[in-house]
Structure 1
Amino acid sequence: MRAIEIQEPGRPPVPVERDAPEAVRGETLIKVTAAPVTPLDLLCASGTSYFGRPRTPYVPGVQGVGTVEGEPVWFATSAGMAPGDGSMAEVARVPEGSLVRLPSGVDPVAIAALGLSAIAAHQALTWRGELVAGEQVLVLGAGGVVGQAAVQLARLAGARRVVAGARSAAARERAELAGADAVVTLDTEDVAELAARFAAVADGPIDLVLDPLFGVPAAAAARTLRPGGRLVNLGSSASETCPIDSATLRGKSLRLLGYTNNELTPEQRAASLTLISEQVLLGNLSVTHESLPLREAEEAWRRQREGTATGRIVLIP
């Protein structure tokens, strides 16, 4: 079968021919139809992540979409985090418990592009953020895949207004296309200035902030929260540290909450994926993406690493 391999940590994947995996008890063989290239894939393959140096060679791909006996499924793997292979091959073997059945007719590339990023957005908004219909939400990093999904999912959950923050012109355009009511440019390191920009376009104090950035944007967003407001952090794309002042935290009794997909139960993950796939079918949920053949994985890898991809890149075996 066709596949790609990480043969040395820190190096791009290479196309290879492999023997197809054989079925074993408790696991399922999946004919892969779409495998996204994500930041987590590159982190795992770098050999410098908190998962440790991966055992090589291995097939990367922490998630994918495929079919089992002709029926569509989404699946997750531990490729790069534990010994074993992932989704970037014609056939993948995964534990039965990692499968989520998908509705017939759903676009596999669209689901692959959303995948774990949309699951994170949904659960961070609802499970950790406790979003209530009628609340006002601020989504940071709204031009990224998590952010685009969060803008749409917040609206679907009943948010009355969704404010977005994004840095580049292209990212701001993606946030607008996702349906944000207002988009703020994140091009300053001045916390007070950025907080004033958020306040200027918000309809009163913010109830919930979804934050995949941390750093100055999170500190500014915290200043816009109402008393008892919540900020859910699920990433550090801007910085590993954040200059939130104590007076803001104490004065408003704010709640700062961490989020990781690793804490989800299989049932939570499946519930999110089911909702996501239903909304894709209804035309209510999508993120910017493109597809490339598996043989162009090295190019996809490079663009993801350099940040030059226009959206999520999905490989087609």
Structure 2
Amino acid sequence: MRAVVLRAPGQAPDALEHPDPVPGPGQVLVEVLAAPVTPLDLLCASGTSYLGVPATPYVPGVQGVGRVEGRTVWFPTPAGTAPGDGSMAERAAVARDDLVDLPDGADPVRVAALGLSAVAASAALHRRGGLGAGERVLVLGAGGTVGQAAVQLARLAGAGTVVAAARSAGARERARAAGADAVVALDTGEVDELARRFRDAAGGDVDLVVDTLFGPAAVAACRALAPGGRLVNLGGSASPTAALESGVLRGRSLRVLGWTNLELTPAERSAGVAEVAALSARGELSVPHEAVPLADAATAWARQAAGAAAARLVLVP
């Protein structure tokens, strides 16, 4: 079969002929329909992930959408986090218990583009962030897939105001199209200025921040939080560190929280994906995405690594 193969950590993968997977006990063979290229895939493949160095060679792809036994399903894989191949291939061996049936009308590429990114956005808002109806929400990094989903999910949950902050003009336009009430340019590292922009855009202090960036934007967001406000961090694409101020945290009794989907049990993860797929099928949740032939995986990988993709890239065998 045709598959994307990573030969060594830190190298770019290639699309080439690869042996068909052989299902083990409790596994089924899935015909892959769509496999997203995600930041987690690149992080695992780099060999610098907190999850450890992957055993190579292997087929990347931590999630995908496929067909098995006449059903269209979403599925996860351990690729890059544990021994085993992933979704970036024509076929994948997947644990039967991990399959999530997709509802009628769900588009495989759209669901693959949302996938675990939308599950993380939902968890940041609800499970970790405790979003209440009418609250003011600030999304940092709102042009990315997690941020786009967070904007839409906050609106669906009844947030009073949703403010989207992003670095590029294109990202801000995507956030506005996703339903943000206001957008803020992250074109400065001046914390006081950013905090002022956040409050002005929200019409006052913010209750909940969904943060995919960290760095100065997160510091400014803490200054813009209301007493008892929460910041949920899901990533550090702007910086791995943030100089949070003790006086701000204590003076406002703020909560700074982290989230990873690895905290979810398999049942919780399946329920999250099912919810995302249902919203997608109803046309209530979507993110910009681009279908790319599996044969062009190396180019797609390079675009994702360089930050040159304005949409979630989804490989289509």
**TM-score class, shorter:** over 0.9
Partner residue, 2:209: 209
Distance 1:300 1:243 in 2: 34
Q: In structure 2, the residue corresponding to 1:174 is in which secondary structure?
A: helix
Q: In structure 2, the residue corresponding to 1:253 is in which secondary structure?
A: coil
Partner residue, 1:142: 142
Structure 1 position 248 matched with structure 2 position 248: yes
Partner residue, 1:307: 307
TM-score, with length taken from structure 2? 0.97
Q: In structure 1, the residue corresponding to 2:285 is in which secondary structure?
A: coil
Distance 1:136 1:253 in 2: 17
Q: Which is worse superposed, 263-272 or 146-155?
A: 263-272
Pairs aligned (count): 317
Distance 2:8 2:248 in 1: 46
Checking the alignment, whether the CA contact within 8 Å between 1:222 and 1:248 is kept in structure 2 is: yes
Distance 2:273 2:290 in 1: 20
The 4+ residue runs of structure 1 with deviation greater than 6 A are: none
Checking the alignment, whether the CA contact within 8 Å between 1:23 and 1:29 is kept in structure 2 is: yes
Report how far residue 12 of structure 1 moved: 1.3
Report how far residue 219 of structure 1 moved: 0.8
Q: In structure 2, the residue corresponding to 1:228 is in which secondary structure?
A: strand
Partner residue, 2:123: 123
Q: In structure 2, the residue corresponding to 1:81 is in which secondary structure?
A: coil
Report how far residue 57 of structure 1 moved: 1.4
Distance 1:13 1:240 in 2: 26
Deviations 1:263-283 (A, max 9, x none): 011222122212211111111
Partner residue, 1:80: 80
Distance 2:56 2:244 in 1: 41
Checking the alignment, whether the CA contact within 8 Å between 2:98 and 2:270 is kept in structure 1 is: no
Give the counterpart letter for 2:238 in structure 1: A
Give the counterpart letter for 1:48 in structure 2: T
Partner residue, 1:109: 109
Q: Which is worse superposed, 217-226 or 13-22?
A: 13-22
Q: Which is worse superposed, 49-58 or 175-184?
A: 49-58
Checking the alignment, whether the CA contact within 8 Å between 1:72 and 1:104 is kept in structure 2 is: no
Q: In structure 1, the residue corresponding to 2:249 is in which secondary structure?
A: helix
Distance 2:11 2:247 in 1: 46
Report how far residue 37 of structure 1 moved: 0.5
Identity, % of aligned pairs?
A: 63
Q: Which runs of 5+ in 1 are unaligned?
A: none
Distance 2:246 2:50 in 1: 30
Partner residue, 2:168: 168
Partner residue, 2:187: 187
Structure 1 position 197 matched with structure 2 position 197: yes
Distance 1:254 1:53 in 2: 35
Checking the alignment, whether the CA contact within 8 Å between 1:71 and 1:104 is kept in structure 2 is: no
Distance 2:172 2:286 in 1: 16
Structure 1 position 33 matched with structure 2 position 50: no
Distance 2:95 2:267 in 1: 15
Partner residue, 2:218: 218
Checking the alignment, whether the CA contact within 8 Å between 1:136 and 1:161 is kept in structure 2 is: yes
RMSD: 1.1
Q: In structure 1, the residue corresponding to 2:4 is in which secondary structure?
A: strand
Give the counterpart letter for 2:176 in structure 1: E
Partner residue, 2:7: 7
Distance 1:126 1:245 in 2: 25
Give the counterpart letter for 2:143 in structure 1: G
Checking the alignment, whether the CA contact within 8 Å between 2:291 and 2:313 is kept in structure 1 is: yes
Q: In structure 1, the residue corresponding to 2:109 is in which secondary structure?
A: helix
Report how far residue 290 of structure 1 moved: 0.2
Report how far residue 260 of structure 1 moved: 0.6
Partner residue, 2:59: 59
Report how far residue 75 of structure 1 moved: 0.8
Distance 1:240 1:50 in 2: 13
Give the counterpart letter for 2:189 in structure 1: E
Give the counterpart letter for 1:97 in structure 2: D
Give the counterpart letter for 2:315 in structure 1: L
Give the counterpart letter for 1:257 in structure 2: L
Q: Which is worse superposed, 183-192 or 5-14?
A: 5-14
